[in-house]
Amino acid sequence: MRRRLGRRALVVASAATLLLSTVMVGTASAHGSTIDPPSRNYGCWERWGSDFQSPDMATEDPMCWQAWQADTTAMWNWNGLYREHVAGNHQAAIPDGQLCSAGRTGGDRYAALDVPGEWHATEVDNDFTVTVHDQAHHGADYIRIYVTEQGYDPVTEPLGWDDLELVADTGLLAPGEGRPENSYPLNGVSIDIDVHAPGRTGRHVVYMIWKASHYDQTFYACSDVVFPG
């Protein structure tokens, strides 16, 4: 199994690339994402950030491969996928087919995350826990978790709003609420959200909407899962 970055320094191919990645991670270090099951770009960074130029990725993890080729900064900035001034009107701000990129926030930076395919998926039961990491103790007006309806095929279909069912809503979370994390690269708090998603089998997408409480700034994430059966 390929080495992960979780608890050690970032290793890259050259000093120039190291400098670039350090800048990218640093600029987004005050934000967060879904880390379990991992969002598509966090998972790609976690699995391949230390070896992102490896040709093995093309065959071992092809969806991550196409994402790295499209824009490497989407992975270095795994914690910066957000939109401002949405005012809670998520469907108006984000068109169908662009949910994973938050409506192409940042231009085309995160566009590859919208591509349907066999993304690396985490095995879960119909009762499972979603963990969202809040790096800078923003808190939340709410974190909402959605799971795709049975019958949706994430391998072939772009994700649309009608494919989702709301399965959890945290309501208000105070800044700093959650489990402290002191290991690189997290260094914030992790929020565990219990989810009940009956009637699902096979591949699905978990969609996270996190409205930060400090500002009209909303984070989004797609995570891939596999239910039993």
pLDDT digits (tens, 9 = 90+) for 106-124: 999 999 999 999 999 999 9
- Residue 7 domain flag: no
CA angle 219/223/227 to nearest 5° reads: 145
- Residue 1 domain flag: no
Helix, strand, coil percentages, rounded to 5, for the chain: 20, 30, 50
Question: What's the confidence (pLDDT) of residue 36?
Answer: 98
- Residue 222 domain flag: yes
Structural domain boundaries enclosing 169: 15-227
Say yes or no to pLDDT of 25 above 90: no
Number of domains into which the chain is organized: 1
Say yes or no to pLDDT of 24 above 50: no
- The fraction of the chain above a pLDDT of 90, given in percent, is 81
Question: What's the confidence (pLDDT) of residue 6?
Answer: 38
Of the candidates 181, 209, 179, 223, the one whose C-alpha atom is nearest the C-alpha of residue 29 is 181
Question: What's the confidence (pLDDT) of residue 30?
Answer: 54
Q: In the chain, how many H helices and how many E strands? A: 6, 10
Mean residue pLDDT of the chain comes to 89
Say yes or no to pLDDT of 8 above 50: no
- The fraction of the chain above a pLDDT of 70, given in percent, is 87
**Residue with the two structure tokens 């069912």:** 165
Tokens of 33: 């994402």
Say yes or no to pLDDT of 13 above 90: no
- Residue 10 domain flag: no
- Residue 6 domain flag: no
pTM value?
0.88
**Averaged over 28-40, what is the pLDDT?**
84
- Residue 68 domain flag: yes
Number of other residues whose CB lies within 10 A of the CB of residue 42: 24
Question: What's the confidence (pLDDT) of residue 10?
Answer: 39
Q: Picking from 10-24, 45-59, 167-181, which range would have the lowest pLDDT averaged per residue?
A: 10-24
Could you read off the pLDDT of 182-224 as tens digits, one per residue?
888 888 999 999 999 999 999 999 999 999 998 889 999 999 9
- Residue 4 domain flag: no
Q: The CATH number of the domain where 33 resides is what?
A: 2.70.50.50
**Residue with the two structure tokens 């998926």:** 121
